[in-house]
Amino acid sequence: MKHQKQILNIALPAMGENLLQMLMGLVDNYLVAQLGLSAVSGVAVANNIITIYQALFIAIGSAITSIVAKSLAQKDQSAYQGYQNDALSLTIILSLILGVISVVWGTTLLKLLGTQNSVSEIGGRYLALVGGGVLFLGLMTSLGSLLRARGRVRLPMYVSLVSNLLNALLSTLAIFLFNWGVEGVAAATVLSRAIGTLILAKQLKLKVWDWQFHLAIDRDLLRLALPASLERLMMRAGDLVIVALIVTFGTKVVAGNAIGETLTQFNYMPGLGLSTAAVVLTAHYLGQAKIDQIRQVEREIYLIAVLSMGVLAGFILLLGPVLGRLFTDNTSALQASQTVLLFSFLGTPVTAGTLVYTAIWQGLGNAKLPFYTTSIGMWLIRVLIGYLLGISLQLGLSGVWMATVLDNLFRHFFLYKRYRRYIG
Residue 218 scores a pLDDT above 90: no
Last residue of a domain, one of 182, 217, 252: 217
Q: What is the pLDDT of residue 160?
A: 87
* Together in a domain, 256 and 280: yes
* Together in a domain, 208 and 356: no
Q: What is the mean pLDDT of residues 227-248?
A: 84
Nearest to 390 by CA among 263, 260, 247: 247
Tell me the per-residue pLDDT of 146-200, one tens digit each, with 9 for 90 and over. Answer: 998 888 888 988 998 899 889 889 988 998 888 888 899 899 999 999 999 999 9
Tell me the per-residue pLDDT of 2-14, one tens digit each, with 9 for 90 and over. Answer: 778 888 888 888 8
Q: What is the mean pLDDT of residues 270-292?
A: 90
Q: What percent of the chain has pLDDT above 90?
A: 43
Residue 334 scores a pLDDT above 80: yes
* Together in a domain, 108 and 200: yes
Confidence of residue 344 (pLDDT cuts 50, 70, 90): very high
* Together in a domain, 226 and 213: no
Q: What is the mean pLDDT of residues 13-28?
A: 72
* Beta-carbon-side half-sphere exposure of residue 125 (alpha carbons within 13 Å): 16
Among the ranges given (24-38, 257-271, 397-411), the one the predictor scored with the smallest mean pLDDT = 24-38
Tell me the per-residue pLDDT of 345-376, one tens digit each, with 9 for 90 and over. Answer: 999 999 999 999 999 999 998 989 999 999 99
Last residue of a domain, one of 217, 236, 270: 217
Confidence of residue 317 (pLDDT cuts 50, 70, 90): very high
pTM recorded for the entire structure: 0.83
Tell me the per-residue pLDDT of 382-405, one tens digit each, with 9 for 90 and over. Answer: 999 999 999 999 999 999 999 999
Q: What is the pLDDT of residue 118?
A: 79
Q: What is the mean pLDDT of residues 219-229?
A: 85
Q: What is the pLDDT of residue 114?
A: 67
* Together in a domain, 269 and 209: no
Average pLDDT value over all residues in the chain: 87
* Together in a domain, 210 and 91: yes
Which residues make Cβ contacts (< 8 Å) with residue 208, sequence separation at least 6? none
* Together in a domain, 258 and 178: no
Around Cβ 12, how many Cβ atoms within 10 Å?
17
* Together in a domain, 188 and 245: no
Tell me the per-residue pLDDT of 116-154, one tens digit each, with 9 for 90 and over. Answer: 787 788 889 999 999 999 999 999 999 998 998 888 888
* Together in a domain, 422 and 336: yes
DSSP letter for each residue of 80-98:
HHHHHHHHHHHHHHHHHHH
* Together in a domain, 135 and 245: no
In total, the chain counts a number of residues equal to 424
Residue 101 scores a pLDDT above 70: yes
CA dist 155 and 284 (Å) reads 19
Reduced to 3 states, what is the DSSP secondary structure of residue 230?
A: helix
* Together in a domain, 264 and 211: no
* Together in a domain, 127 and 13: yes
Residue 137 is part of which domain span?
1-217
Q: What is the pLDDT of residue 258?
A: 77
**Burial grade of 279 (CB within 10 A; 0-12, 13-18, 19 or more):** buried
Q: What percent of the chain has pLDDT above 70?
A: 93
Number of domains in the chain: 2
Q: What is the pLDDT of residue 140?
A: 93
Residue 66 vs residues 179, 356, 366, 370: alpha-carbon distances, Å: 45, 14, 10, 15
Q: What is the pLDDT of residue 149?
A: 83
Residue 208 scores a pLDDT above 70: no
CA dist 259 and 328 (Å) reads 9
Residue 80 scores a pLDDT above 80: no
CA dist 116 and 114 (Å) reads 7
CA dist 156 and 161 (Å) reads 9
Last residue of a domain, one of 217, 233, 254: 217
CA dist 422 and 6 (Å) reads 24
Query: Interior CA angle at 88 toward 87 and 94, to 5°?
Result: 90
Confidence of residue 212 (pLDDT cuts 50, 70, 90): low
Q: What is the pLDDT of residue 28?
A: 66
